Amino acid sequence: MTESRKRLDLEPDTVERDLIKLVLTVVELLRQLMERQALRRVDEGDLSEEQEERIGLTLMLLDDRMTELRDRYGLRPEDLNLDLGPLGPLLPRE
């Protein structure tokens, strides 16, 4: 590892963007887990039609907000996928 890769870039703009990136990564992970859980419950018939509609609307709104925040900070969806080294990426690749 080179010396420059060991140093942290502590510029205020970079710190804010990196923090937003980390927060959005966690929110995206939770969103994907909620979506999978909702699909499983729909497949099993556990939800009423009203519950299905409410969950669908909530997930769509969350996706819209995530897109807005990524755009605001110049992030792409793939920027939120942390590389866990030998374990692979945090989020499944779509």
Contact 79, 21 (CB under 8 A): yes
Query: What pLDDT score does 15 carry?
Result: 83
Residue 79 in contact with residue 73, Cβ under 8 Å? no
pLDDT of 10 reads 66
Condensed to tens digits (0 to 9), the pLDDT of residues 39-89 reads 999 999 989 999 999 999 999 999 999 999 999 989 998 888 877 778 777
Give burial (CB, 10 Å; 0-12/13-18/19+) of 66. middle
Whether the per-residue pLDDT at 90 is higher than 90: the answer is no
